[in-house]
Amino acid sequence: IMLKGMTRLVSRVHKAKHGEQHVGQHYNISIQELKTVFPHGLPPRFVMQVKTFNEACLMVRKPALELLHYLKNTNFAHPAVRYVLYGEKGTGKTLSLCHIIHFCAKQDWLILHIPDAHLWVKNCRDLLQSTYNKQRFDQPLEASIWLKNFKTANERFLSQIKVQDKYVWNKRESTEKGSPLAEVVEQGIMRVRNATDAVGIVLKELKRQSSLGVFRLLVAVDGVNALWGRTTLKREDKSPITPEELALIYNLRKMVKNDWQGGAIVLTVSQTGSLFKPRKAYLPQELLGKEGFDTLDPFIPILVSNYNPKEFEGCIQYYLENNWLQHEKAHTEEGKKELLFLSNRNPGLLERLCAYL
């Protein structure tokens, strides 16, 4: 894992040793690791950038460093601590979350990563009535896609963890007690109708067994404010569905409660995919609503803000090293001042500006 400094020197620093002095510098993730650790969850523009540059570089920033410090000093006997990353649009919440996930994957934690909870509460083509509980609804497509990605991310754990209950899927298929979790995941991917129930089982088993201390669990949810908002989904008689009535959301809420030990919960609240929330809202209180805030309370809020001058310089240097800024004037002081003014040091805006310059 290489750390790209402000100059052309590339120094190899192990990620566990990222410190205060590395703020503003980039570190490299190999493309192979990217495919295993992040089958889903990276922002689409970042994926395009990785494809164009043929390398994945994340910037080391203060909120991520703070979180890493807390994670390194967690006491796994205590209930899981909840950390909420919040900030305005484009400041880097999702990429900070990805930094944390990569760190934990390197440390051999089990990663439970939901890339965007908002995708589960809107634009669902097929809603089935749940087989397990008549009141709730199933989302076979979203659940099966998530299970596929979960499998790629955590291959090695699936054979080690054993299921502690017998689950009957239908008249002919059932999973015995003591069989590996991989079987449940396979069942969910094969039989798309039972995918949501498979997800529920996976979540329940992981929660139960992480308290035993065999593995450490990291629950990472992006856009957690979707769990307590409203959905745009409707029943056949056009009456709206609340999030509780979706089986995926119901099980995820149980996961985010801090009644288990042996891991950590890192969440992000974002307005970008959210439904019925004003554009300028970015604080956790505004985005989660009363119900969500009360459920998540107590949590540790971490503000992700725009780049500071050092980080901004670092970002521009990174683009210049990769020859991304092709405009002649972009290399000059004038050009840099202009970019600073136009983007207000917002990472998302800066990336969009540099894309066409």
Burial (0-12, 13-18, 19+ Cβ within 10 Å), 282: buried
Please identify, among the stretches 63-71, 181-189, 226-234, 324-332, the one whose residues bind another protein according to the rule CB under 8 A.
324-332
Q: Which of residues 52-71 bind another protein (CB under 8 A)?
A: 52-54
Q: 204 — phi, psi (to 5°)? A: -65, -45
Q: Which of 210, 303, 220 is nearest to 38 (CA)?
A: 220
Quote the tokens at residue 91: 């400041």
Alpha carbons within 13 A on the beta-carbon side of 211: 11
3-state SS assignment for residue 251: helix
3-state SS assignment for residue 172: coil
Q: Does 331 bind another protein (CB under 8 A)?
A: no
Neighbours of 156 (CB within 10 A): 9
Binding mask 89-108 for another protein (x = CB under 8 A): --------------------
Q: Does 316 bind another protein (CB under 8 A)?
A: no
Q: Which of 154, 222, 219 is nearest to 182 (CA)?
A: 154
Choose between 7 and 323: whose C-beta lies nearer to another protein: 323
Give the pairing of strands 217-222 and 110-114. Answer: parallel
Q: Does 173 bind another protein (CB under 8 A)?
A: no
Please identify, among the stretches 126-134, 145-153, 307-315, 330-338, the one whose residues bind another protein according to the rule CB under 8 A.
330-338
Q: 349 — phi, psi (to 5°)? A: -65, -40
Choose between 68 and 350: whose C-beta lies nearer to another protein: 350
Choose between 141 and 355: whose C-beta lies nearer to another protein: 355
Please identify, among the stretches 13-21, 75-83, 153-161, 321-329, the one whose residues bind another protein according to the rule CB under 8 A.
321-329
Q: Does 355 bind another protein (CB under 8 A)?
A: yes
Gyration radius from the chain CA atoms? 21
Q: Does 321 bind another protein (CB under 8 A)?
A: no
Give the nearest distance from C-beta 335 to another protein in angstroms. Answer: 5
Binding mask 36-55 for another protein (x = CB under 8 A): ------------x---xxx-
Q: Does 357 bind another protein (CB under 8 A)?
A: yes
Given the rule CB under 8 A, which residues bind another protein?
Answer: 48, 52-54, 323, 326-330, 332, 334-335, 338, 355-357
